[in-house]
Amino acid sequence: MTDMQCLVIGKRMDAESHPGQVWMDEARGYRRIEAHDALRAAIAARSSCHQTVIIDAFMASSYTAKDITVLEGLEPVRKRPGMYIGGVGAAGLHHLAWEILDNAVDEAMNGFASSIVVTLHEDGSSLTITDDGRGMPVDKHPKTKQSAVEVIFTVLHAGGKFDPGNYKTAGGLHGVGASVVNALSKELVATVRRDGAQWEMRFKQGKPTGPLKNLGPARGSGTTVYFHPDPTIFPKIEFDPAVIRERLEVVSYLHKGIKVTFENEATKERVTYQHDEGIVQYLQKVVSERAAKPVHDLTFLLERDNGLRMDLALQWTESTDEHLRSYVNGIPTGSGGTHESGLRAGVGKAVRNFIDTHNLSPKGVTLTAEDIREGLVGILSVFIQEPQFQGQTKDRLNNPEVLSVVDSAVRPALEHWLNHNISVAEGIVARIILAARAREASRAAQQEVTRKSATSARLALPGKLSDCSSSDRDNSEIFIVEGDSAGGSAKQGRDRTRQAILPLRGKVLNTESASLAKVLENKELSDLVTALGCGLGKNFDLSRLRYGRVIILADADSDGHHIATLLLTFIYRHMPQLMANGRIFLAQPPLYRIDIGKETYWVLDEAQKTQILEKHGKGPSGRSTPEITRFKGLGEMMPKVLWETTLNPKTRRLLRVDIADQLVTDRVMNELMGKDASARFRFIMERAEEAEELDL
């Protein structure tokens, strides 16, 4: 195995791009351990020779005060960046942009700015963010005797948002955002316009390169921050324009009336976002992207500015899942929090009260909170003066008082809306009852499958499953193989002690728009659920999973990719915990065999084939002609070849499937696998020029 890679939906990155994690080569493959678990051990993995060298860091016999390290200034940020931005991968890199952007948004949401411009420079790895707000203070700080600009960018927990008199609400709270960006940047330049003058201060790796300079007179006011991430901290420093555009568009929805502009110097692209209707337009965009047919056209809208400011838009659709996007002071809270809990409680109470008042309760079925929210698409944006976030990444809101405030605001407003729009409300109730009856039917079918599942009794396992002999889950893996012929080769070539093989016949059901009852009627998927043993949906239990790794093994051609996508869709929709816990992998079988003289090369794709031929096209004598064999499928491979190239943990290559952005992944899945063919047509047309070779 030459490397261990992590497949993030939409992105691929080497394990080496995660310096906070270490991948250790073992006889059974690769496993991930956290760097701090290595306890100061220096680990050097060189996959070409499959050796791991561990240097013991505890050779010293004494442990005294001199061994205690004190980090001052911005040193802690550079030493442990993950503590401040969540990691040094793509998400952490873009978090730098969000910190500076949030400062500009804070000016706008408090009425001091009306325009924000974000420029991605031609190198693709540096940004400039400009607002027309008040401009940072430039006078001397009374305590530090330094300019306020220098304090803001060099001192942790220094900012203007601790005093409620400066900002009514703000996304920046901890006073570390600007200083963290400065600490993790190779270069940062802050330019301020205020009081009729323009000021500039430059920094390098968190340290000032000179004093604050007065550049002369200037009109207007505002702040401009240019920064270039430090390549010694981040393995990859290229920003993704699509990610930035999407974040800026969301800002324009949440703060209606604000003009947000994105400029990409590399492509000469300039786009401006401004939405005067706010989250109503945002909800329409989300429903359209998800290709979910609305149950009603009239949107429930709640705008509240008494105490806690809240904007809420709801619409029920025919989708089988709930989709809620929540924000606090303009910052996305992907992990939810008390504001989402309050919303769910309020929606449940309002709908139940309406059903009880109008005697619409169905017979023979009990409505659950999940039935009420099935198909619900919502945008919730709250503005709080003292939000309590879970960590600097601000992914979850923890204010306990917000739950009751949101609940008490949503329940009466939604109930009033339902009572004054009877025809719409009755359509929503009919949708909820339909969801409850479908759940009951799915539960019965699921119980039948669960009854057959075997966590201990092997007699109930699918007949075509060739199980492994080991009962150690962490030391075993199952290969889901495309086709019976490939399954036969895999069964003969595998390590019977640790590797199980489950062949699937043909292409499985596309589960993106199928009900759970229909999914469980599919024999191939039913056998897969039984073999894994962990159940699915609400009955999923990771502790009952029978294998440490679930590896999808499909042909390297387009049909194989399609089958792998169908399986990933099923797992993402019905067993997402397997992806969240890093249990799903994609095997990487070769597409070509190239023989040059006495050397044999196993090639994954066209790009690698071209690379091999350019490098080894002729042998030492100059007369060797490459012999190229293209595999039509895994079934053509001899068991020994399949073992050496795809099954052997010491020589194989695997991609681990992970979710980097839940919202983006959900949209991509819906576009590619959903009912709306027009979404796929747009996807193909927009990317037609990127196709280098078509497998027709």
Residues 49 and 150 placed together within one structural domain of the fold: no
CA dihedral 288, 293, 297, 302 (to 10 degrees): -60
Residues 668 and 653 placed together within one structural domain of the fold: no
Predicted pLDDT of residue 33: 31
Predicted pLDDT of residue 483: 74
pLDDT in tens, 591-648: 888 888 888 888 888 888 888 888 876 555 555 688 888 887 777 788 888 898 889 9
Residues 137 and 254 placed together within one structural domain of the fold: yes
**Which residues are paired to 200 by β-bridges?**
191, 213
Residue 340 has pLDDT above 80, yes or no: yes
Residue 242 has pLDDT above 80, yes or no: yes
Residue 59 has pLDDT above 90, yes or no: no
Q: How many whole angstroms separate alpha carbon 279 and alpha carbon 273?
A: 13
Predicted pLDDT of residue 679: 74
Q: How many whole angstroms separate alpha carbon 191 and alpha carbon 173?
A: 22
In a domain, 607, yes or no: no
Q: How many whole angstroms separate alpha carbon 559 and alpha carbon 565?
A: 10
Predicted pLDDT of residue 580: 87
Q: Hey, CA dihedral for 596, 598, 604, 607, is it positive or negative?
A: negative
Buried b (16+ CB within 10 A) or exposed e, 246-279: ebbbbbbbbbbebbbbbbbeeeeeeeebebeebb
Predicted pLDDT of residue 378: 95
Q: Is 18 helix (H, G, I), strand (E, B) or coil?
A: coil
Q: How many whole angstroms separate alpha carbon 462 and alpha carbon 74?
A: 58
pLDDT in tens, 537-583: 777 888 889 999 999 998 877 788 888 999 999 998 888 899 988 99
Residues 84 and 220 placed together within one structural domain of the fold: yes
In a domain, 601, yes or no: no
Pairing of strands 185-194, 222-229: antiparallel
**CA distances, 570 to each of 250, 289, 317, 549, 581 (Å):** 29, 20, 21, 17, 16
- Of 60, 88, 106, which residue constitutes the final position of a domain? 60
Q: What is the mean pLDDT of residues 459-463?
A: 65
Residues 491 and 574 placed together within one structural domain of the fold: yes
Average pLDDT score, the chain:
80
In a domain, 611, yes or no: no
**Domain of residue 408, CATH code:** 3.30.230.10
Match 């990155």 to its residue by tokens. Answer: 13
Residues 223 and 239 placed together within one structural domain of the fold: yes
**Domain of residue 183, CATH code:** 3.30.565.10
Residue 1's pLDDT band (boundaries 50, 70, 90)? Answer: very low
Residues 54 and 153 placed together within one structural domain of the fold: no
Tokens standing for 33? 């351990």
Residues 407 and 290 placed together within one structural domain of the fold: yes
pLDDT in tens, 171-216: 444 335 788 899 999 999 999 999 899 999 999 998 999 999 999 9
Residues 135 and 115 placed together within one structural domain of the fold: yes
**CA distances, 151 to each of 72, 148, 589, 692 (Å):** 14, 5, 55, 51
Residues 52 and 85 placed together within one structural domain of the fold: no
Predicted pLDDT of residue 5: 40
In a domain, 600, yes or no: no
Q: Which of 37-41, 258-262, 365-369, 662-666 has the lowest mean pLDDT?
A: 37-41
Q: Is 91 helix (H, G, I), strand (E, B) or coil?
A: helix
Residue 48's pLDDT band (boundaries 50, 70, 90)? Answer: very low
In a domain, 223, yes or no: yes
Predicted pLDDT of residue 446: 58
pLDDT in tens, 370-402: 999 999 999 999 988 888 887 656 788 889 999
In a domain, 66, yes or no: no
Q: How many whole angstroms separate alpha carbon 331 and alpha carbon 325?
A: 11
- Of 394, 422, 439, which residue constitutes the final position of a domain? 439
Active site residues: 482, 555, 557, 559
Predicted pLDDT of residue 274: 93
For 680, the domain range is 663-690
- Of 256, 273, 290, which residue constitutes the final position of a domain? 273
Residue 411 has pLDDT above 60, yes or no: yes
Reported residue count of the chain is 696
Q: Are 390 and 458 in contact (CB under 8 A)?
A: no
Residues 172 and 145 placed together within one structural domain of the fold: yes
**Domain of residue 526, CATH code:** 3.40.50.670
Predicted pLDDT of residue 441: 73
Residues 430 and 509 placed together within one structural domain of the fold: no
pLDDT in tens, 68-109: 544 455 777 887 787 778 788 888 899 899 989 988 988 888
Predicted pLDDT of residue 172: 44
Predicted pLDDT of residue 46: 31
Q: How many whole angstroms separate alpha carbon 88 and alpha carbon 395?
A: 17
In a domain, 381, yes or no: yes
Task: Please compute Rg for the chain using Cα positions.
Answer: 28
Match 């990610």 to its residue by tokens. Answer: 243
Number of domains in the chain: 5
Its pTM stands at 0.61
Predicted pLDDT of residue 238: 93
Mind giving me the DSSP string for 462-478? -TT-B--S---GGG-EE
In a domain, 551, yes or no: yes
